[in-house]
Chain A
Amino acid sequence: MTGGDVREAVLRAGRGVRWYLREWSGEARWDEYLRQCATHGHPPVSRREFERRRADALESRPVSRCC
């Protein structure tokens, strides 16, 4: 394995972790939304508005946490 390979592997792993955390935490939802808007030609709402709607949707959806 050359130095370049190692560097490439580390970068790949880092990108993977970042992707995972953004997906897991829901941060990636915003990017997804922007992409959807672009595809369908809708003007997007502000990020603040988007996140507020997303957070308020959780209000009536209980999240169970086990023992």
Chain B
Amino acid sequence: MSTTVTQDDTGGPARPPGSLRRMSVRSVIVWAAVAAVGAVAWTVLALSRGESVSALWILFAALCSYAIAYRFYARYITYTVLRADDRRATPAERLHNGIDFDVTDRRVLFGHHFAAIAGAGPLVGPVLAAQMGYLPGTIWIVVGVIFAGAVQDLTVMFFSMRRNGKSLGQMVREEIGIIGGVAALIAVFAIMIIILAVLALIVVNALAESPWGVFSIALTIPIALFMGIYLRRIRPGRVLEATGIGVVLLLLAIVGGGWIQDTGLAEALTLSKEWLVLALVVYGFVASVLPVWLLLTPRDYLSTFMKIGVIVLLALSLLIARPVLQAEAITDFAREGTGPVFAGSLFPFVFITIACGALSGFHALISSGTTPKMVAKESQVRLIGYGGMLMESFVAISALIAACVIDQGLYYAMNSPAGATGGTVESAATFVQGFGFDTTAQDLAAASAAVQEPSLVSRTGGAPTLAVGISEIFSTAFGGGLQAFWYHFAIMFEALFILTAVDAGTRVGRFMLQDTIGNVWKKFGDLSWRPGNIIASAVVVLLWGSVLYIGVTDPLGGVNQLFPLFGIANQLLAAIALTLVTVLLIKHGKLRWAWVTGVPLVWDLVVTMTASWQKVFSDVPAIGYFAQAQRYRDARAAGEVLPPAQDPGQMDQVIFNSTLNGVLQSFFALLVVVVVVNAVVVIVRAIRAGGSLPTTEEPAVPSQLVEPAGLFATAEEKRAIAEHERLVGAGTTEGGRG
């Protein structure tokens, strides 16, 4: 472990281009206008009650806030707090090997990084949180990303970059201590298992009893295999060509799903949730042991193109369709905590239901490791880390809008567990009428007929709701009466990248397991040793598969029970990441700036610990896992069967599941407490040592590269690049550079 004492705050870099002191009159006017539009949008959202509010206000409020945060706060963090220094060579430049250390154009790397961080999370959380109304979700997504999520991604990326792209776990071990390091390693692995299980659960819920969905998703596998073989044997390296063919085949698969609905095949493809679990587990295992070129890589191209395409389409169609918000600003469920989608009141549960899009700990795994090894210039972490996360937040905002513009009776009929809705359109209509909606059984039947699904009642998990929202927005915007096509298009696109996340996650989990066990049993750590691969893959798949099975068969509804665990787990991971970067700021002698990561850390700890506490110790059975187990245990002892359980077997199941969830919940929280306590010890030591401690930061090496910092090169930067090229005499600039 190389150790250098860093001297900071002396000889820092020259002020960034266009700093505050030198803002031109024109940019003052532009930024004042952006601020004014944002302020108006927020005011409309905050003050409108009971009148019709256009969803575009949410869009404008978010976009203006992002722009201001990126321009001012991200710049402040990058240059003043972190002191990114473009005279210093990045690991991509110093250790260039063309494989993982590789100087990459900032815009291309932005695309890679965004593709890696954005998945189903920002699409699902906001849909579920719409139960609280549109306002709490909007505020948390926007404020959360600006002050917590994007700050985490940016600072983790920066510190990892200064350490040759070390992973989060490695940095915790080296900078905080071995105890914290081990706790972090276990937490990362366990949390990943939960995340994979919950993602898979969303796919299962979206595909169960839907032959159209199963057909099109199943076809993605042969399509990806075909692309893999095409790229390996037929036309090596022609990725765009292969992806183009893949996308066309994918669209045909969606159309084809509509045709097979009315044939004899439909029955064979109407799968129960249990069968889908089995299919996913087998698929996950096979995908993890197959060579990546055959399935994983082509599938990733496909899902990324679909992802970007849908996000762009959604943003455009929102502008064209200009839908009106149907949800209330703040619902009664937010105050009372009795909502059917998930239990618990606004604080803390809105903040854990929406993780991705506001603050997602999982990003810390990507912001450390892969991306920092490819950054060309230190200052570019602002665009890639902070900017990438803002973009994901925008996806979350779009998903929130989609959930808030559909009929809210339908929203609750779709998102409440079957135990609550009764499972039929009649019982579901009675159920939502109980909340004061005038949605009838005919309305619910018409909604499912419009998207050609057998039923939309209790299609929990968020994906079907989002698909309904997207299909309504798209068919309003583009016309043509294609609602059923758009619904299955949206389901397909979500399932596609959830499956990509499941493949990739299983593989990452397998590597972690092999690496960890490799410390004691050398042979097992050898990634090319086949039996090791198979055993580790099987263990990882069985772990998430069993949590998935438990969720799928839970009488109380898997999403209702597991989603809080998922959200808390993800944000506990964020707590570990924010603890690390706060410790690093202090060790680098930047105590007076430690609030930048310290404030979101404290907020995140308050939220996750309150939520964990409530999930473990609350005596309200709907919230506390152990209270729930106790309630069912008491009833079973008295010989009763409590709904929604239908027989003593299901009673036992509820007791087992709730106890397990409670134990997992306490375990995660405990691991984070261990990391935080270990960190506090280090912080105290640093302050006692006079305000700084040695870190594992790599010593500075002068950079030979000249690259722009932001998305667009400034005139000053263009001149510098031209000058540099004249001196070096290299005439090999790329077509679109600058």
Contact = CB atoms under 8 A, between A and B. Distances in A.
Interface of A: 15-16, 18-30, 35, 47-48, 50-52, 54-67
21 contacts: A25-B243, A27-B237, A30-B237, A47-B236, A51-B232, A51-B237, A52-B232, A55-B231, A58-B292, A59-B291, A60-B527, A61-B99, A62-B504, A62-B511, A63-B116, A63-B504, A64-B365, A65-B116, A66-B117, A66-B356, A67-B199
B166 interface: no
Interface in B708-735: 732, 734-735
Given A15-B736, A65-B119, A66-B117, A55 B365 contact: no
Given A47-B237, A63-B300, A67-B198, 18 more contacts: A15-B735, A15-B736, A25-B301, A26-B239, A29-B237, A48-B236, A51-B232, A55-B297, A61-B99, A61-B100, A62-B504, A62-B508, A65-B119, A65-B497, A65-B501, A65-B504, A66-B117, A67-B120
A30 B508 CA distance: 28
A65 B300 contact: yes
Nearest to A63: B504
B56 to A, nearest CB: 27
Interface residues of B, number: 56
B70 interface: no
B291 A19 contact: no
B505 interface: yes
A64 B370 contact: yes
Given A27-B239, A55-B293, A57-B99, A67 B736 contact: no
B362 A66 contact: yes
B169 interface: no
Contact of B239 (A25, A48, A60): A25
B120 to A, nearest CB: 6
Nearest to B293: A55
Contacts of B118: 66
A32 to B, nearest CB: 9
Contacts of A58: 292-293, 297
A7 B319 CA distance: 27
Nearest to A60: B527
B94 interface: no
Contacts of B117: 66
Contacts of A47: 236-237
A24 B736 CA distance: 13
A21 B198 CA distance: 32
B108 A24 contact: yes
A54 B240 CA distance: 16
Tell which of B198, B293, B360 has the most Cβ of chain A within 10 Å.
B293
Tell which of B360, B527, B734 has the most Cβ of chain A within 10 Å.
B734
Contacts of B507: 62
